[in-house]
Amino acid sequence: MFYAASAALSEIGDSARTHQGTHHLFFRHFVEAGPIDREHTRNLAAVHADRQDASYARGFTFSVDDALDDLQMAQSFVDAVEDHLRERPS
Protein backbone atom coordinates (compact mmCIF):
# COMPACT_ATOMS: atom_id res chain seq x y z
CA MET A 1 0.00 0.00 0.00
CA PHE A 2 2.84 2.37 0.87
CA TYR A 3 4.53 1.75 -2.46
CA ALA A 4 1.27 2.24 -4.36
CA ALA A 5 0.73 5.55 -2.55
CA SER A 6 4.34 6.54 -3.24
CA ALA A 7 3.94 5.67 -6.93
CA ALA A 8 0.78 7.77 -7.18
CA LEU A 9 2.59 10.70 -5.59
CA SER A 10 5.54 10.20 -7.94
CA GLU A 11 3.19 10.42 -10.92
CA ILE A 12 2.27 13.97 -9.89
CA GLY A 13 5.85 14.94 -9.03
CA ASP A 14 5.56 14.74 -5.25
CA SER A 15 7.09 12.51 -2.58
CA ALA A 16 7.59 12.29 1.16
CA ARG A 17 10.42 11.13 3.38
CA THR A 18 8.31 9.17 5.85
CA HIS A 19 5.32 6.86 5.93
CA GLN A 20 3.37 9.54 7.80
CA GLY A 21 4.29 12.13 5.18
CA THR A 22 3.26 9.75 2.40
CA HIS A 23 -0.12 9.19 4.07
CA HIS A 24 -0.62 12.93 4.48
CA LEU A 25 0.31 13.83 0.90
CA PHE A 26 -1.69 10.96 -0.53
CA PHE A 27 -4.75 12.13 1.40
CA ARG A 28 -4.27 15.74 0.33
CA HIS A 29 -3.71 15.02 -3.36
CA PHE A 30 -5.97 12.04 -3.97
CA VAL A 31 -8.72 12.03 -1.35
CA GLU A 32 -9.40 15.69 -0.68
CA ALA A 33 -9.14 16.30 -4.43
CA GLY A 34 -11.70 13.54 -4.97
CA PRO A 35 -10.44 10.70 -7.17
CA ILE A 36 -9.79 8.20 -4.35
CA ASP A 37 -12.42 7.30 -1.74
CA ARG A 38 -11.68 8.31 1.87
CA GLU A 39 -12.14 4.70 3.00
CA HIS A 40 -8.89 3.76 1.28
CA THR A 41 -6.83 6.16 3.40
CA ARG A 42 -8.49 4.86 6.57
CA ASN A 43 -7.49 1.37 5.45
CA LEU A 44 -3.96 2.54 4.66
CA ALA A 45 -3.64 3.88 8.21
CA ALA A 46 -5.18 0.73 9.74
CA VAL A 47 -2.90 -1.67 7.89
CA HIS A 48 0.11 0.50 8.68
CA ALA A 49 -0.82 0.41 12.39
CA ASP A 50 -1.13 -3.39 12.23
CA ARG A 51 2.26 -3.59 10.56
CA GLN A 52 3.81 -1.42 13.27
CA ASP A 53 2.22 -3.54 16.00
CA ALA A 54 3.39 -6.76 14.35
CA SER A 55 6.92 -5.40 14.09
CA TYR A 56 7.32 -3.65 17.41
CA ALA A 57 4.60 -4.56 19.95
CA ARG A 58 5.65 -7.32 22.32
CA GLY A 59 3.37 -10.32 22.21
CA PHE A 60 1.18 -8.96 19.42
CA THR A 61 -0.37 -11.68 17.29
CA PHE A 62 -2.61 -11.72 14.24
CA SER A 63 -5.40 -14.15 13.64
CA VAL A 64 -5.85 -15.59 10.17
CA ASP A 65 -9.01 -13.48 9.84
CA ASP A 66 -7.08 -10.31 10.77
CA ALA A 67 -4.45 -11.09 8.17
CA LEU A 68 -7.09 -11.79 5.52
CA ASP A 69 -8.86 -8.51 6.35
CA ASP A 70 -5.61 -6.57 5.96
CA LEU A 71 -4.86 -8.37 2.72
CA GLN A 72 -8.30 -7.49 1.37
CA MET A 73 -7.86 -3.82 2.36
CA ALA A 74 -4.44 -3.76 0.72
CA GLN A 75 -5.73 -5.27 -2.52
CA SER A 76 -8.61 -2.81 -2.64
CA PHE A 77 -6.25 0.11 -2.04
CA VAL A 78 -3.79 -0.97 -4.72
CA ASP A 79 -6.65 -1.58 -7.17
CA ALA A 80 -8.03 1.93 -6.53
CA VAL A 81 -4.62 3.52 -7.08
CA GLU A 82 -4.02 1.49 -10.25
CA ASP A 83 -7.47 2.41 -11.58
CA HIS A 84 -6.81 6.09 -10.91
CA LEU A 85 -3.40 6.00 -12.57
CA ARG A 86 -4.84 4.22 -15.65
CA GLU A 87 -7.59 6.85 -15.95
CA ARG A 88 -5.22 9.81 -15.65
CA PRO A 89 -4.54 11.64 -18.87
CA SER A 90 -0.95 11.18 -20.03
The CA distances from residue 71 to 13, 29, 43, 76, in Å, are 28, 24, 10, 9
State which residues form the domain around 49: 2-87
Angle between helices 2-11 and 38-56 (to 10 degrees): 130
Q: What is the pLDDT of residue 90?
A: 63
pLDDT in tens, the chain (90 residues): 999 999 999 999 999 999 899 999 999 999 998 889 999 999 999 999 999 998 898 888 889 999 999 999 999 999 999 999 998 776
**Where do runs of H (alpha helix) occur along the chain?**
2-11, 19-26, 38-56, 64-87
CATH number of the domain bearing residue 81: 1.20.120.330
- Domains: count for the chain: 1
Distance of CA 30 to the CA centre of its chain: 11
